[in-house]
Structures are given as C-alpha cells and as structure tokens.
Amino acid sequence: MTEKQTTLEVPVSIEGQGLHTGTMGTMTFRPAPANHGIKFRRIDIEGKPVIDALIENVISTDRGTCIGINGAKVFTIEHVMAALRGMNIDNALVDLDMEEIPIKDGSSRFFIDALKKAGTKELDAEREYIEITENIDFEIPEKKTRIEIRPSKRFSLNVTIDFESRVLGEQTAIMDDIKEFPVKIAPCRTFVFLHELEFLLKNNLIKGGDLNNAIVFVNRQLPQEEMDYLADLFKKPRVKVNGDGVLNNLSLYFDNEPARHKLLDMIGDLYLLGKPIKGHITAYRPGHHANTEFAKIISDKISVLAND
C-alpha cells in the first residue's frame, strides 16, 4: 500500500521570541502542493525570499541549525523541522517575519500543537522515502562522536549523550517509530550548563532566553548572591539548585529528557534531507554539526546511487 504525501488543512500561526536575537515575531505554517517540500519564507525582507529546508542550505550549526541563501537566513530551525517530521508533514510553506524561530519552551511541543490544530490532508502524490540499503558510519574522534545508520523498514533512533559531568553523565533515549514523537519526544526541552549560560549572557547571545525554555544544569557550588543575580537577570523569584544539580526553575518531564531532546534535534536536522528516512540510527554524542555532516554523507550516497 502506497503512502500519500501530506500538507496542512489550513494555515496556523505561532507568536514568540527568538532565543538568541530576542526579537518578537510570528511564524505561520501554510499548506503547500505536492513535491513542494518544506520551505521558509522571510516575509519581513524585501522580495520575501524563500529558503528551501535542505541540507545544502545549512550555513551554520553554532548553537542551532541555521539555513540561508543569498543573504537571507533563518536561525534555530531544528525544533520546527522535527515537529513537521513528527507529524508526517511532507509539504509546507513556513512564513516568518523575523530571522529566528520562536523558542517557546525550548521543545517542539507548541509546534506539534499548532500542526494538530491546522489538521493534515493527503495530496495526490506518493510519498518518497530515503531507503537505506547499506551501512553508513560517521565519526568525529576528537569529540568522541559516532553515528551510524543501518537498513530498516522504518525510521528509528537510539541516541546516547555523555557530558562526562557529575550532574549530566551518560543518558540514552530510544524512539522505535516516528508515531512516538508527539508524546514521548516533542515535549523535551533544550538544556544548558550554567557556565555556558553565563558565557552566552555576557556575549549578548540569548536575548530571548529565560528560565522557562531551558533545563539548566549546575556543576559547581554557587554563592547565594550569584543565584540571586541569576534570578534578577531572568526576572524570577529566588532560584536554587536541586540535589540532582538542576536549577529549580522547572521539573523534568523524563529522567532522560536531555537525551530525548538530542534525539529531537537529530530528527529535525536529518529532515533537511528533504524526505523521510527508512533506517535505524545509533548515535553517540551527536550535535548539530555532526547531524548535518552525517546528513550530507547520506545525501552524497543517494546522489551516487541515482547516477549509477
């Protein structure tokens, strides 16, 4: 039985603030025809340039995946791309009046909710998959990163992180089927170590951040005056560090929420291949750079096979 491509029933919008730019704006998912794929349109720029969400348009993976073409850019697209893949949306035009995706709570949950509200409809075209027919391996030795994909009849992932820290050591997250994404993966929020947070703040890099859109891990003792400073900075009541080294700004949804979020990121980054994958992925210490480099290897393999 063949599967049909899908798009949205009706447009749906989300308002929010960019994590790094701090800019407020609106993102609107719009229906698109068959074989359109996922595209972002910067409606705040003259000419309203359209950027295909494809791996060849990745221009940066520094603290998020950024795509761009001819000077037009869209930052931090991975959570939106993961939501579109998680809802099996093949075709959509995503309008933005800002250069960065709204961070919301640092997960894909709000995007999933919006896509559910818009509804999904089938199109009169067959869905095409990237079917993995041979083992593909990738490694970055200096980062201890390893990613491999094996042939499979469905898309599944096994992701392990290890920050070699007392408060965040080795964790593993598993997704056996994309149908699990909306409930088990989408709500999982991004995370940061306190020392990274301090660096980002001092370098004016997270203007839109607050203590509600990231899990903050603390791997050193802090004097209360520094905790008070952080609370004031984020316009929060006093904060403290829980026994497990996590700021008490929020509670974890899952014990392995950080690993699940890394799995979420990987789904979003790999959807930049332009088609869903059929294959089983095992990843150790992945990140946006590794994910996109791995996607490029898959893309190159596909191109070689197509030309044989």
Which residues are known catalytic residues?
288
Please tell me the distance from the alpha carbon of residue 290 to that of residue 145, in angstroms, as a whole number.
Answer: 8
Phi, psi angle pair for 36, to nearest 5°: -80, -35
* DSSP label at residue 167: S
- Residue 185: C-alpha distances to residues 90, 117, 176 (Å): 19, 19, 11
H or E segment and range at residue 294? helix 288-307
Bridge-based pairing of strands 58-60 and 66-69 is antiparallel
Q: Which of 100, 90, 76 is nearest to 35 (CA)?
A: 90
- According to DSSP, the β-strands at 277-284 and 24-30 are unpaired
Per DSSP, helices labelled H in 120-256 are 194-202, 224-233
Contacts for 129 with CB less than 8 Å, ≥ 6 apart: 275, 276, 277, 278
Beta bridge partners of 247: 241
- Residue 80's SS3 state is helix
> Hey, what are 66's tokens?
């950024």
